[in-house]
Structure formats: structure tokens, C-alpha cells
Structure 1
């Protein structure tokens, strides 16, 4: 048995050794085509390489495309890297490495056209490569440069694909290629019909490619797949220029041409038997030019009437590049369905953007709604409390490099810092200015400027990063049209949590009961043992603390600078006023209205954000004229004021 086993092993080794040398043999067969390749000759080499199915072909094609294949003077091919005056060689079959002098080798340098052909062949191997990254690269390469001969290998690789996501991508890409390059019209139509539910940019590009047209003009309507007939009178000048370019009509005689011809043919104060003194009108100049044309001195006169007659005598059309009308009809129907779906998807995406912006405005304005509604104080420094919260998050991240943990620490810390700052501001300034709104506005405006300058002195004028955790990177993608970033989703969730907490505090706690009592009737609340002064202080601190937390959330989405509060103070006041002063639900309604309105105006006028904000302010001014107490009017002191 032992001699038999050794003999079998020797046979297997011999066969394996022979197979290992197969690639070099194929290369030797096509040595001339490899040394001086062209787009036509290289296809023969590639066909043999692809048919061989050898695993080392993939590496060889990659290296050949990258100009790393060298031929030795004896005709042998190697994969090589330059190393000074030597070459670091690798055998194309055995991968054995060696080093030789560069003088005895010639580098193969395929041009760009040949490399594209090589890339197409290489994709066929990469589609079924054991390495997932190579397969993904191959699919991405097909998506960038789709060609007809890629359809077969792509379809063949679908069944053996083990990665579910990549398999779905292969099926989608094969569907797109089938729609363009399929041999059977029924298969193409089926692929096109399947694209009617695909809102991706690729699908729309494929359908538009199938429906591409070329315009033309002829004496009679041509045969073929005509997309539409064109009315030349819609653009008469361009249509007549097309006639001239097609050689179907002479160039129109312009007034400048007529004048130059008349000046060149003046003889004895006359032009074509017409006195020069009588050439003061267009009709006279045209008549003189016509006589010159009859004499053969100038080209024939082509008037506007002649142009109109020529336009009427010809047929202008747009003809599909695709010859089969069934295919273009299917593509038209599919594209129409896709456009409807894209329209709905854009509406959903716009609604998500509006909801996201409304969440940001709600977070920025809810603290102001509490202080303004309960105390009637116009706090122009509210934006600076937002700024303080954002900078708190930045400072925490300097000491806590774990971004998730730093955000968890920053939220309560920002509340504590801005709560304390709000209480200090109320005790030192606001309490002395109650019922004096103008002085309150000026004082808080001055405080806001001072806080901005203080932030500049501490942190500088450059924007500081407030980095979000990795799990907030990227976006939730529903389709090529509908997507929303995870940060915006987090802000929306945070806004919902705050709404629930504030409603709980106001409706279910003693502090909330006292706040509502002071809001509705401070005199009666005082007679019942509630200290309005203390409630005002706590309310102002609570509103400021909420602004600090909002600053951390907004800082994850926007830039953190000393002026960031100014970007939200106007919207915050508009949110409070439009929604209804001192009402949580009113603030939510106001934020929703302003957020959706701003996004809607920006969608109508995307190139000018400043104009969109201006239109929004004008709309809100008109809205307040008809509903001065806001969407949700408050009962009690604020309503009476």
C-alpha cells in the first residue's frame, strides 16, 4: 500500500505542478499581444485567460493593469517591482520571489483603452472572488461603468453570493443592466417594469438613458421610434438655424448683411437702379438688395417670410435612440411612476427636515416660554444660556474623551451651570426691573453682549468642536430621497423627553402647581401662601437650565461659537409669540409651524436662505395680526397683559 500511496501522491503533485504552470503557458502563446497590446488584439488574450479559470489570473490582470508585469529577454513573464537597478520578481504561477538586474527586462505598459478592457475582464473574476472586499469593489466598478458584457458574469455570480446585502445589490445592478443591454425585448421590458418602484438615482438614470432622444428635421415625418413632433414656431430662430445646419435652407439675410452689400455696390449714387437717397427704409433696402441678387452680385435675399415658409414646409421631430417603441413605452410608464414616488418621497423628506428643525426650535424656545410666560420678562440673554450649555459640553469632552459618557455628564452639568447663572441673573438684575419691559430688554441685551465677550476671551473666536458619539454618526437612510441624520433623530427624541418632563413638572408636582397659580393670578396665589418672588426665581432658573441642556443638544448639530445664541434668539421669540405665551403646547405648536414653514420656503427658494427667513418673518407678522395671542392662547395674567 505504501508504494501505491507514494505513487498517487507523486501523480497528484505532478498534475498540480502542471496546473500551476498553465498561466505562463497561456502568456507565452500570446506573447506578442501582451507586449504590444491594442483594444482589438487584447480581447483574444483575455478570452483565453477568462476561459482558463485559473485563480492566479485575477492577480495577473490587476498587476498588468497597474503596469507591474515585465517580460524577460527569454520571453518569460513576471510580476515585478523596481528596486533601484534591479527588479524584485514574482513568478506568475508559483509566486516564487527572486531578484534580477533590470537590464534584461521590458516593462509592459498598456494604454488607457487597453486598461479599460482589462478592467472589464478583471471584474468577471472579482465578482466570485472569495474575498468580500474584492467582490464589493467589482460591483462598484460595474456601477461606475456599466457595459453590456458585464451582465452575464454578474447574473452568474448572484446564486453563489453569500453576503445578503451584496447579493441584493447584485440583483439590483443586474436589473439595471438588463434594462439597458438585455438581448430579449421581453426581458428588458420586465426589467424596466420592475424599476417603476425604484426611486434611486441609478434607476432614474437608466430610464432616462433609455428615453434619450436626438432632434432632427426632414421634409416629411421620418420612420422609426418618434418621441414627439416639435413646433418650430416655439423657437423660430433656433429652428431655422437647425434647417440651415442641415443644408435644407439658406442662411437668412440679416440687416447688417444687406447694408454691407449695398455699401459695396454703390455706383454713381445708385444701388441697383435705386437712388441712395431713397434707401432710408427697410423695404427700400430689401428691394435694392433683391435687384442686386437678380444681377448675381449678391446671394439671394432670404426674408422673414421665406424663413416662415421654410419652417412650415419641414417637419421637426425628436427621435428615440432606442428603436423598439414597446421598450420606450415601458420606460415612459416606469419613469412616470418613479417621478410620482419621488415626489411623495421628497414630501416625506421635507416633512422630516421640518420636524427636525421644529425639534431644535422647541428645545431652544421652551425655556424662554416658561420665563416669558410666567414672569413676562423679555430675556435677550436667553441665547447666551444656550451658548453656555454648548461650551459646557465642549469643556467636559476635554476631560472625558469617551464621547458617550461626556454627553451623559454634560447634560446635567449644563443644566446646573445655567440654572445657577439664571438664578444669579434674576436675583441681581431681573427682580429690580419687574413691570418695566423696556429696561428689562435693554439690561438683558447688555448682559448678552457681556456674556458673548466673556466667551470670546475664554474660548476665542474660532468654532469649537462638540463631537457626537460614534453611534450618532451617519444617517438613517430609507431611500436615495428619504434620509435623516442620527443626530437630528436624537434631538427629536430629546425634545420629546423634555416635553414629557415639563408637562409632568407643571401638572404633577407642587412646583408646577405653584407656577401655574402664579401665572394665572399672582395676587390670589400670594394670598394662599405662595411666594411669587421665590416662584419667579425658580422659574427663571428652570428656564435657563433647560436652555443649557438645549445648548448641548444644538452644539452636536451646529457650530459652537460665542455668537451661536444669536442664531436662535429670534426664532425662539417667534416660536413663543406664535405658539402662545407661557404655554408648553403653544410652544410646541409654534416650533412646528415655524420649522415646517421655514423648510417649505427654503424648498421653494433653495438658493437664498436669507430670503426664506425674511418671508417667514413677514408671514408671522401677518399671522399675529389675525391671532395676536398665538395658536394656543393662555388664560390668566399673561392673557390679560
Structure 2
């Protein structure tokens, strides 16, 4: 079918074009039969300019379907032979022409001009890809002369490629600058690959710098070392080579006679100036080759100028290219900053979610619960068990969240009734007791689930990421955790400000004795508060388990950050907890960027910063005020 289409194109062509093709085959018969990569280029250019009749010939040649019979070129089609010029069947056996890979590459480049107008979309796409891989100046005019592509995607690709080739090969500086400016906001690697060579420089040295597009004048000693500057002079034949100190000392040592070298006592050769003088004397006697002295080096450097000169002669073009690359760098910095901010916000939401339960137990009750991390772990394992029972990931997640809250709520109530209530106002004993409970819960989890990490798979609608701009994205599951953290913040504020339980909690926190005299049972309120904080930790465990490994040590990975979040933010203040989580999340991500290869060092630096911060703000960012602060 392609052959028929190209034949039709031939029929509508001019007789002059057909005659030219016929003449070319006769003229270059030997070169076509035995092509060489070094000499076939001009022949291919003439064939390409002869018209569409050359297209099937070049295709057959590149595909090794071209042969010769008695000096006639024929197409090899299965067992048959067809004359290239007449289309008639040719009897006999053909000698196949098999160009090497280098020649085939040149043929493919010549074919591009015909393939750009091919009815087959795939061939047009291949033609654009071929130009992009090995573009030269001739392709610029080919693209400009080609008919518009009916496919919008290929049309956009061709337009982009045309502008890139305009930057590289157009002789009109205004057109090149316009092409560069047309990529405003683009940071593609192909564009960078075109712009960077424009800014390539060559370092030159001369008594008077040549006129041209100078990137920067260099001052020896500041922009370039004196050694590098003098080596440049030597390489360009503008100065004599200077011996190294070691070679100079060796040459002087070989010519010591009666303790003298070049009329200077050997004992005095510790002075570099005297060494140069002695060496100059040896040069005058013809005993050593001439070399530059220190004074000569300094004088030569002072007499010459040094500069980096652009290979591109037009300063307007280099200015446009530099502005475009500067814009790319600025956009990349903005993208990196936004990406870092999103990562920090995501990490802060995780810390806040892990710490909000602790803010209730530690902040309101003043109970140091070292088992808080294990409640997070219990919530994660609850999510895993739920998924083993319910195959639907969305439904299992819906069931796991309230189940995790209920289980950890009950576990918190049990812990309070058995341990915490007996250690009220005894923080050290509470810390040791809950630490022992933490170890026991970890061991129980190992006995039940083993030491291997268990999978907690997120639903399919939480897969992927949300893209805000070019290069700025955040995983959907982290967005979900951020939303969950905000929901819990709103829920906590609602409970504490709008419910009877919240009113009773605030009363017991500020003045337990007065609250008891008003008919409030402080022990019951403390138990409910502890259970609420533990339940929220369980829900946090489900959320964290969706992207972290569910193991018995899961909670211990977050307990330290949770305590730091509560202490830094301000004990007993939910807004302080939010501020603390934001500070610690941002600080950790910032340190990781500065020291990405050592996460342990990053955590160490963060802890040191927190220690220093507490020295200046011992009550945190947002401390409680009034009676709550004195409780």
C-alpha cells in the first residue's frame, strides 16, 4: 500500500524530477552499489532532492531489498524482481545490496523528509523520533517545508522539535531568540540539552582579548589560580614552561662544583630568588634548558589577559539562553521547596495524629504513658486482622477504624484501672510501670503475629498521587492522613468545647477537688480521658500502618516524636500539639535535605535542637494559662 501511495505521488510529480532521479541512478551507480559512509552523503542529498520517487528506492535500500541485475537496480520482493525505474518484472538472479549500519543511518535520515508526509501515523512518528535522535541543519528546512500533520499530538511534537532545531541551526538570531522565549515555563531535558551548548565557553589568554562574546574576564589569583593561568599561556605558546621546584632543585644539585652552583653558594639556595638566579646562570652556560623564572612568570601574567569566551558569537542569543536556564533553575528551586513543604506537612500530620492521643493523656492527666506507642501498634495490627477477614479493602478500612478505636479504648481503660489509677501524681513510677507494659505488649504481639512485617494494604482509591504542578506531587494516602488529622483536631475541639464530657475533663484538669464537690467523679473522668486518648492512638495506628511496616516495634518508632510534639507544642494545649508537630516535621525534613545520607544524624540534630529550644521555651510554643497551667 505504501508503495502504491508513493507511486501516486510520483505520477503527480514533474517529469523533470523523474528524469533527475533516472540520471542520478546512472551517475552514482557504483557508489550506490558499494557505498561508504564517508562518501555517500552528497549522493543521498541529491537523491532526497530529486522528488518522491526516491522514497521507495531509499526504503528498499535501507531494508536491504535493493539489488542489481546486469547494472539495473531492482526491488527484491520475495522470489520476484521489479525494475526500479519501469516497474517491470526482471528475470534472473539479483545481487543484493547490503549497506552497513552507518550507511543505513544516513539513508534513514534522508528518508525523513518523505516519511513526514506519509499517511501512516506510525511512520510519521518514527520520522520525528529519528530527527530528534540525529538532527542536523538540513532537517530544519525539511520540517518547515513539510505539510501540517493532521494528528494533534504529532503536530505538537513537530512544533516543539522545529523550535528546538531553530535554536540550534537557524542563522537568524532573532528567530533563535524567539524560539528560546517560546519555551517560557518549560524545563524539559531536551530544551536544556539545546541551551547548554550555546553557553559553552573556551578559556583564552592574550595580550589583548579578541573581540567577541566574552562570558567573563578572569583575574589570576581570584577567578583563576596563577598556576592555571600560566599553564594556559604555556599551552598556547605564549610563555616558556616553568620548572617545578623539585625539578629545579634536582637540576641545581647535579651542577654543584666546589660548593657553588652558577656562582652562588649551594648553602644559600634555600632562597627561591637565588635558586632562580643560579638556574639562569646555568642556562647561560648551556648546562640546562631554559625555563621561566618567578619574576618572568609574574611579568608574563601581568602582561596578559584571560577570559572565558562563548562559542556562540551573538551575545543576544547567549543572554536569552542564560535567562531561560536561570528560569529553569528558579522553577526547580520552587518545585523542590514546594515538594519539601508538602513532605514536611505530611510528616507533621503523621506526628500530630500519633501525638493527639498522647496530648490527652499526658497533657490533660499529666500521665507519662510509655505504652502509648503500643496502642498505635495495636491499632495497626487490628487493621491487618480486619483485612484478613474482609477482602474488600475499602470495607475493611471502614470496619478497621472503629474496631481499632474500640480495642485500644478498652485496652486503655484496663491499663488505667489496673496500673495508672494507683500511681496518680507519681510520675516516675508511672513512667516505669508503663514502660514495662510497653515491653510486655511488644512481646505479646511477637508471640501472636511473629517478627515479620505484616501487610496493611490501602484501597485502590488511595493509590497514586495528587499532582499540583509540574514536579509537585504528594501521595494520595498522605493526603488522606492529613485530612484525618484535621478531622481529629475538629473532633477533639468539639468534645472538649461542646460536650458534657469535655466540660467535666476541663473541670477535673483545673481543680479536681472543686469538680468532685460539684458531683463529678474525677476517677471516672480520668479513666474516660485515658481511654479516649488510647482509642485515638489506635486509629492513628491504622492510618500509619497503611504506609509503614506493621511490626511489634511500630509504636516505638513514633513514641519519641510524639512526646517531643506534645512537650514542644505546650503540654495540655491541642493547638500547641499541632504547632509542635508542624515544627518537628518541618525541622526533620529540613535536616534530612541538608544531610540526606545519614538519617540517624538527622534525628540526633533534631533532638539537640529540641533540647536547646526547651531551654528558652520550657513550657512550649503555646503553654496553658490560668489554673490549668498550675494544675
Q: 220-229 vs 379-388, which deviates more? A: 379-388
Structure 2 residue corresponding to 1:375, chosen from 339, 350, 365:
365
Task: Tell me which residue corresponds to 1:430.
Answer: 420
Please state how far the C-alpha of 1:292 moved relative to its aligned partner. Answer: 1.0
Give 1:176 deviation, angstroms. 3.8
Could you tell me whether the CA contact under 8 Å between 1:158 and 1:170 is conserved in 2?
A: no
Corresponding residue for 1:83? none
- Structure 2 CA distance for aligned equivalents of residues 404 and 50 of structure 1: 64
Q: Say how many residue pairs are matched.
A: 604
Q: Which residue of 2 aligns with 1:520?
A: 510
Q: Is the CA contact (8 Å cut-off) linking 1:373 and 1:519 kept in structure 2?
A: no
Q: Spell out, residue by residue over 1:601-635, the C-alpha distance to the aligned partner (whole angstroms, 9 max, x if none).
A: 33444444444333333332233233222222224
Deviates more, 1:579-588 or 1:528-537: 528-537
What SS does the corresponding residue of 1:215 show, helix, strand or coil? Answer: strand
1:186-585 matches, within 5 Å, as 186-234=174-222, 235-279=225-269, 281-585=271-575
Deviation larger for 114-123 or 368-377: 114-123
CA contact (8 A) 1:514 1:530 kept: yes
Distance 1:303 1:177, change over 3 A: same
- Relative to 1, partners in 2 of residues 1:73 and 1:34: Cα closer, same or farther, differing over 3 Å? closer
Give per-residue Cα distances to partners, 1:29-79, cap 9 Å, x unaligned.
Answer: 78974885637637856986899879x979969x96xxx857789787679
Between 1:196-205 and 1:565-574, the stretch displaced more is 196-205
Task: Sort the Cα spacing of 1:543 and 1:123 in 2 relative to 1 into closer, same or farther, 3 A.
Answer: farther
Specify whether residues 229 and 430 from structure 1 end up closer, same or farther in structure 2 by C-alpha distance, changes over 3 A only.
same
Structure 2 CA distance for partners of 1:206 and 1:38, relative to 1, 3 Å: closer
Contact 1:367 1:545 in 2 (8 A): yes
Asked if residue 38 in structure 1 is aligned to residue 26 in structure 2, the reply is no
1:298 positional shift: 0.7
Greater displacement, 338-347 / 242-251: 338-347
Deviation at 1:405, TM superposition (A): 3.8
Q: CA deviation at 1:316?
A: 1.0
Deviations 1:546-576 (A, max 9, x none): 2222223223333333333232222111111
The CA distance in 2 between the partners of 1:122 and 1:49, in whole Å, is 7
Unaligned 5+ runs, structure 1: 1-11, 81-88, 93-102
Q: Aligned to 1:418, what secondary structure does the other structure show?
A: helix
How far, CA to CA, are the matches of 1:638 and 1:279 in structure 2? 83
Please state how far the C-alpha of 1:229 moved relative to its aligned partner. 0.8
Separation of aligned partners in 2, 1:131 and 1:550 = 56
Residues 571-618 of structure 1 deviation map (CA, whole Å, 9 limit, x = unaligned): 111111111222222211111122223333334444444443333333
Give the C-alpha shift of residue 109 in structure 1. Answer: 7.1
CA 1:318 to 1:610, structure 2 compared with 1: closer, same or farther past 3 Å? same
Q: Which moved more, 1:263-272 or 1:620-629?
A: 263-272
In the TM superposition, 1:20-169 aligns within 5 A as 33=32, 38=37, 41=40, 108=98, 110-111=100-101, 113-114=102-103, 117=106, 148=137, 160=149, 162-163=151-152
Task: Specify the alignment match of 1:181 in structure 2.
Answer: 169
Unaligned 5+ runs, structure 2:
12-17, 83-92
2:14 counterpart residue number: none
Superposed CA RMSD in Å reads 4.4
Q: 1:87-116 CA distances to partner (integer Å, 9 max, x unpaired)?
A: xx9999xxxxxxxxxx999795743x4565
Contact 2:40 2:103 in 1 (8 A): no
**Judging changes above 3 Å, is the alpha-carbon distance between structure 1 residues 284 and 236 closer, same or farther for their aligned structure 2 residues?**
closer
1:349-384 per-position Cα deviation (integer Å, ceiling 9, x unaligned): 332222222112111211111111222111222222
Aligned counterparts of 2:456 and 2:32: Cα–Cα separation in 1: 59
- TM-score (normalised: structure 2): 0.81
Equivalent residues of 1:60, 1:79 under 8 A apart: no
Shift in CA distance, 16/569, structure 1 to aligned 2, threshold 3 Å: closer
Q: Does structure 2 conserve the Cα–Cα contact (< 8 Å) formed by 1:49 and 1:57?
A: no
Normalised to the residue count of structure 1, the TM-score between the two structures is 0.79
Task: Report if aligned partners of 2:9, 2:52 keep a CA contact under 8 Å in 1.
Answer: no
Q: More deviation in 351-360 or 274-283? A: 274-283
Name the SS of the counterpart of 1:563 in structure 2: coil
Which segment is superposed worse, 449-458 or 179-188? 449-458
Task: Evaluate the alpha carbon distance shift between residue 154 and residue 617 of structure 1 in structure 2; reply closer, same or farther with a 3 A threshold.
Answer: farther
Instruction: Please report how far the alpha carbon of residue 208 of structure 1 lies from its aligned counterpart in structure 2 after TM superposition.
Output: 3.2
- What secondary structure sits across from 1:217 in the alignment? strand
C-alpha distance in 2 between matches for 1:552 and 1:348: 28
Aligned mates of 1:133, 1:384 — CA distance in 2: 59
Corresponding residue for 2:87? none
Change in 2 beyond 3 A, CA 1:616/1:132: farther
After superposition, the Cα gap between the structure-2 partners of 1:241 and 1:563, relative to the gap in structure 1 and judged at 3 Å, is: farther
- Structure 1 residues 483 and 16: CA distance shift in structure 2, 3 A: closer
Which moves more between the two structures, 321-330 or 152-161? Answer: 152-161
Q: Do the aligned residues in 2 keep the contact of 1:176 with 1:206 (CA within 8 Å)?
A: yes
2:241 touches 2:291 (CA, 8 Å); kept in 1?
A: no
* Cα deviation digits, residues 118-171 of structure 1 (max 9, x gap): 66567778878888888777767766766555556667889545456x765655
Partner in structure 2 of residue 5 of structure 1 = none
Distance (Å, rounded) in 1 between the aligned partners of 2:38 and 2:171: 24
Q: Matches of 2:147 and 2:462 in 1, distance apart? A: 33
Q: Distance in 2 between matches of 1:441 and 1:243?
A: 74
Q: Distance in 1 between matches of 2:517 and 2:57?
A: 90
Task: Tell me if structure 1 keeps the 8 A contact 2:203–2:308.
Answer: yes
In 1: Cα distance, 2:457 partner to 2:81 partner = 50
